A = this chain, B = another copy of it.
Amino acid sequence: VTEQEWRDPARAPSPEGVRRAAGKIAALLPRTPLLPLEVEGRTLWCKAEMCQPIGAFKIRGAWHRLSDLTPEERARGVVGVSSGNHAQGVAWAARRLGIAATIVMPRNAPKAKLAATRALGATIRLYERPGEDRDAIAADLVARTGATLVHAYGDPWVIEGQGTAGIEAAAQLEARIGRGPDRIVTPCGGGGLAAGLALACPDAAIHIAEPEGWDDVLRSLAAGAILPVADMSWPTDCDALQTPRTFPINFAVLRARVSGGAAVSRAEVAAAMRLAFERLHLAVEPGGAAALAAILAGKVEVTDATVVLLSGGNVDRETFLRLIGD
């Protein structure tokens, strides 16, 4: 591919792009742990992404995207749209690269995520969820400033970057049991992580977990066309997975690669958070526990080489206490 081709934001994400991103991430950050967890007599391998500096996998895609910007693009800044984890990823990468970042975030985002994004030096533009259209707000900012939009999932660099978690997990599993994963189970919001993992691990079956009421990707896959979330006011604790709809760039990969999945209830998510606390000693945020929840609920089976993504840990203390205390 020519430089012009891979610099095109409308290009498709590629396995080669994931490998290039993996080299950049390996030079920047240590691997997150891959921790064994016994589930009904089988070993499940948990990729602990809350151990990233920003507490979630989103640092991967943001770094791949921002570090590929030209000097001219860097000078004009970046705009992100996020409920909090992508926000921190973009803010972290921007601070490290000396790029000005503005993030469009919902007013009801977890306090921990708002505070952490601010602490990383980003400018925050709040919006009301539901009600305001965050993509329209971001588009307006981009039009006025010439900044680069770094979408939370509908972006080829972001998808490739998130896939680096799969490259790492495959190498770690190979070192532990002599083979890579045959199944990867992942939380799914807009589909950036799921699509990245699919590109990273062509031999693994991809299973996705979404919160009940926010299972638009599963419904889209069943329908063969992108469907939006039906009721954006549906209650969920999984703020990180509250995406209105997936994008064509994600859907193209998911449609070809997703083998199964499940919608999980609030109680199932809370049970997964409790188990991760008790057995792995990790704080997992609700959205980050969705895939483990699907497994524990018996909705996705564990194979001989299953990797599950514990995708983040940015949860307010009160929310955590309420959910694991029940």
The answer to whether B317 and A51 have CB atoms under 8 Å apart is no
Contacts of A208 in B (CB 8 A): none
Copies of this protein in the complex = 2
Q: A172-B30, A283-B283 are in contact. Are A278 and B324 (CB under 8 A)?
A: no
Residue A325 is within 8 A (CB to CB) of chain B in the complex = yes
For chain A residues 297-326, which have a beta carbon within 8 Å of chain B? 313-314, 317, 320-321, 324-325
Whether B33 contacts A317 by the Cβ 8 Å rule is: no
Choose among B281, B317, B321 the residue that contacts A278 (Cβ–Cβ < 8 A): B317
Taking a contact as CB atoms under 8 Å apart, the answer to whether B51 and A33 are in contact is yes
Contact A281 B51, beta carbon cutoff 8 Å: yes
Q: Within 8 Å of chain B (Cβ to Cβ): is A34?
A: yes
Q: Pick the contact of A281 from B35, B55, B172 — CB < 8 Å?
A: B55
Q: What's the nearest-Cβ distance from chain B to residue A230, in Å?
A: 32
Cβ 8 A contact of A321, one of B176, B313, B325: B325
Q: Does A36 contact B (CB under 8 A)?
A: yes
Residues of A whose CB lies within 8 Å of any CB of B are 30, 32-36, 48, 50-51, 53, 55, 112, 172, 175-176, 274, 277-278, 280-284, 313-314, 317, 320-321, 324-325
Please name 22 pairs of A and B residues whose Cβ atoms are closer than 8 Å in the assembled complex, sorted by A: A30-B33, A30-B34, A30-B172, A30-B175, A30-B176, A33-B51, A36-B53, A48-B51, A55-B281, A112-B278, A274-B317, A277-B317, A278-B317, A281-B282, A281-B284, A281-B314, A282-B283, A283-B283, A317-B324, A317-B325, A321-B324, A321-B325
